Structure 1
Amino acid sequence: MSSQMNLVKEGEKTGEPGTSQSPAGLQAGLKNRHLSMIAIGGVIGAGLFVGSSGGIAAAGPAILVSYVLVGALVVFVMRMLGEMAAASPNSGSFSAYADRALGRWAGFSIGWLYWFFWVVVLAVEATAGAVILEGWVPAVPQWAWALIVMVVLTATNLASVSSYGEFEFWFAGIKVVAIGAFVVIGLLAVFGLLPGSDNPGAGFAHLTDAGGFFPMGAGAVLTGVLMVVFSFMGSEIVTLAAGESEDPRRAVTKATNSVIWRIAVFYLGSILVVLTLLPWNDPSIVKKGSYVAALDSIGIPHAGQIMNVIVLTAVLSCLNSGLYTASRMAFSLGERGDAPKAFAKVNAKGVPTAAIWASVAFGFIAVYFNYAFKDTVFSFLLNSSGAVALFVWLVICFTQLRMRGILMREVPEKVTVRMWLFPYLTWATAAMIVFVLGYMLFDDANRKVVLLSVLVAAVVVAIGVALQFSRRSAERV
């Protein structure tokens, strides 16, 4: 039977609203409040806090345009993914949909690339968290902190999906409250309404008073796009998690419909506050970090330590979700026969323990490489996974182009979320992603990332195509 004809069966396999998964599979252990916070927190990564200063230095106030462009890209991609996920919730999300719409090779390739991306992220975030923790408790070496963080979050994920959801609920909650408070307090200071503020409260003057809105030229907007695009990775996690929720269809629909305001408030809102509190070329933005510099300009004491706590929370949230996401993708690949069958086995609590341990094992190896071979092996891992985010978004575009027809033939009543201006906006989004990848080839800082990522992707795709060919040959025999 073709993958298209299996659509309804696969959708039912993940559970209908108000029901739990079958005892042999993942369990519906995530509550609606968990999914809501995972959706909100998914767009707030550590990259927003620690990476925005570089974008501001490169593009000035025009970095806001970069965030608008990338934000629009994410909104469109999430809309496409939401259309498919709402109609057929699946723990494999876009990998499972690519499997059905484009072929087994596509689901295999993007699934393993996405898994690879997140297990490398585990090492990056574990090290980032360890640096902060070592600063607070120097007696414990950095490698030990990285180990402790990984062990604690592994235990959380192994316990049950609800424990993952509970940890993520509070991690994401801290991020949301912190960003919300920053935007409100910052805007009050911007307009001179905050009592006791040290900031002169110049309104929106700083957006143009240091060389204009485009001080580095309009072309810097594209440079800014390259610097901020990767901080948006993670918004798609909610579509994987929805498969283990009480009401998958409702959760996906709600998350997809709210992505616009989430990006507007947390990204555009917070960066706008930074750029209006300080001139874009203020040295403290690069020296201290954009958010710490902004808080210092208001006169908030211990701004650096406050931001360290928030960044650590973001790091732990990313680690927690990264391990969850990698394990669920491995589980989905195992279910489809594209990974060891052991990955598709779950314990009595519906937790795919083998998939979690495999992801953790590679994560631990990557952490070791980060300490022992930072400039060689780990550098290769980091660069070769760097563009995977864009590959995933591109595959989502091409998958949705095919899946719309499949869904309308098979389950039209379940297509409750629809991509706007289909298929024109889908094609336009794909073209923009291709443009960004092409532009990266002409950027010295990103050329190596694209080339190595394409190389690794080509190897994985070749393996996927070979496996699909061998399966077809076996079926004919």
Structure 2
Amino acid sequence: MGAGRNIAVAGTSILVIYVLVGFFTYMVMRAMGELLLTRHDYRSFADFVGEYLGPQASFYLGWTYWLSWVVTCIADVVVCGSYMQYWFPELSAWMPALSMLAILFLLNLLSVKMFGEAEFWFALIKVITIIALIGTGGWMIATGWTSPDGVTASLSHLTDPTAFMPHGITGFFAGFQIAIFSFTGIELLGTMTAETRDPQRILPKAINALRCGLSSSICCRWW
């Protein structure tokens, strides 16, 4: 979904970008959690936005947040179609995209639990793939693997001046787009307050757990 292109533009400076975005993401989530816990009638972040900035801001935030997830869903199913075309070039992209959208829609209609279970297994595929990529990269570095272009896998590429910012400061700032997008979804912690039995205990625990999640994510990208 554009990650490879952004890494090519930002170079290894993409690692610094993820550290910066991860830090500010955690700080924003901490602030949001504290605001949600100040009053028990807050059901989501749109509620305290409405109180402090007015109903117009709350209305705008609610609908733009909904729209952002619609666009994200469309992007995901389009990418699904593109992946299927890799193995089946004769297949039209709209067919697997529409099929995936229909499957997710039916799972959500039948049972929220079933939808969550499906999302868990889909996410597990991604996690296994990332672990496999990290393992492959580690093997390539350990064995000194050389590409057909004559480039040898090495950790020294992380500090290579030609690889850190290959396109200068412009490429560095261009990398923020995919980095910010990759953290999309953690704000759902701010919408679960209304559905949590003990938000005073669960919400701080969930937000504090972000430190481990964000740290491990950044470490994986460093590797």
TM-score higher than 0.5: yes
Pair 1:269-2:219 in alignment: yes
- 1:224 corresponds to which letter in structure 2? G
* Deviation for aligned residue 1:151: 1.3
Which amino acid in the other structure matches residue 17 of structure 2?
S
Does residue 107 in structure 1 map to residue 58 in structure 2? yes
Alignment correspondent of 1:205? 156
Q: Distance in 1 between matches of 2:31 and 2:108?
A: 29
Report if the CA contact (8 A) 1:183-1:269 is conserved: no
Encode CA deviations 1:40-60: one digit per residue, 9 max, x unaligned: xxxxxxxxxx43322222222
Structure 2 residue 40 is the aligned partner of structure 1 residue 76 = no
| Matched-pair identity in % | 34
> 1: CA distance between counterparts of 2:120 and 2:38?
25
CA distance in 1, matches of 2:32, 2:124: 24
Specify which of 96, 99, 104 is matched with residue 153 of structure 1: 104
Distance 1:180 1:119 in 2: 29
The answer to whether the 8 A contact 2:10-2:164 is kept is no
Quote the Cα distance in structure 2 between the aligned partners of 1:160 and 1:108. Answer: 29
Q: Could you tell me which amino acid in structure 2 is paired with residue 175 of structure 1?
A: K
Give 1:91 shift: 8.9
Matched, 1:222 2:166: no
> TM-score if structure 1 supplies the norm length?
0.40
Matching residue of 2:73: 122
Contact 1:87 1:249 in 2 (8 A): no
Q: Structure 1 residues 65, 105: closer, same or farther in 2, change over 3 A?
A: same
Q: What are the equivalent positions in structure 2 for 1:267-306 lying under 5 Å apart?
A: 268-273=218-223
1:260 aligns with 2:211: yes
**CA shift at 1:237, angstroms?**
1.9
Verify the 8 A CA contact 1:95 1:110 in the aligned structure 2: yes
Give the whole-Å Cα distance in 1 for the aligned partners of 2:204 and 2:56.
Answer: 28
- The C-alpha deviation readout for 1:133-192, integer Å capped at 9, x for no partner, is 3444556532222221111111111223222222222222333343345435534643x2
1:90–1:242 CA contact under 8 A, matched in 2:
no
Contact residue 82 and residue 256 of structure 1 kept, 8 A: yes
Q: Report matched runs for 1:303-322 at 5 Å.
A: none
Q: Structure 2: how far apart are the matches of 1:130 and 1:90?
A: 42
**Cα distance 1:86–1:100, how it changes in 2: closer, same or farther (>3 A)?**
same
- Please list, as runs of the form range in 1=range in 2, the aligned pairs for 1:3-82 lying within 5 A after superposition: 50-82=1-33
Counterpart of 2:19, as a letter, is V
1:210 Cα deviation from its structure 2 partner:
5.2
8 Å CA contact 1:65–1:221 kept in 2: the answer is no
| Matches of 1:174 and 1:189, distance apart in 2 | 22
Amino acid at match of 1:244: E
**Mind listing any 5+ residue stretches in structure 1 that lack a counterpart?**
1-49, 274-477
Computed over aligned residues only, the root mean square deviation of the Cα atoms, in angstroms, reads 3.0
Q: Deviations over 1:332-380 (max 9, x none)?
A: xxxxxxxxxxxxxxxxxxxxxxxxxxxxxxxxxxxxxxxxxxxxxxxxx
Q: Which amino acid aligns with 2:4?
A: S
- Aligned with 1:211: secondary structure? helix
- Residue 45 of structure 2, aligned match among 76, 91, 94: 94
Query: Could you tell me how far 1:236 is from its partner in structure 2?
Result: 0.8
Q: Aligned AA for 2:49?
A: A
1:91–1:240: 8 Å Cα contact kept in structure 2?
no
Alignment of 1:131 onto 2:53: no
| Aligned counterpart in structure 2 of residue 176 of structure 1, from 110, 127, 147 | 127
* Deviation, structure 1 residue 205: 0.9
Cα offset for 1:110?
A: 0.4
- Secondary structure at the aligned position of 2:29 is classed as helix
The structure number with the bigger radius of gyration is 1
Structure with a larger share of its residues in helix: 2
- 1:190-247 per-position Cα deviation (integer Å, ceiling 9, x unaligned): 3x2x7xx846553x21112352644444564323224532332222123324533454
| CA distance in structure 2 between the partners assigned to 1:250 and 1:173 by the alignment | 27
Q: 1:212 to 1:165 in 2, by over 3 A?
A: closer
Counterpart amino acid of residue 61 in structure 1: T
C-alpha spacing 1:247/1:157, structure 2 compared with 1 (3 Å): farther
Whole-Å separation in 2 of the counterparts to 1:126 and 1:189: 32
Sort the Cα spacing of 1:58 and 1:105 in 2 relative to 1 into closer, same or farther, 3 A. same
Letter in 2 for 1:54: R
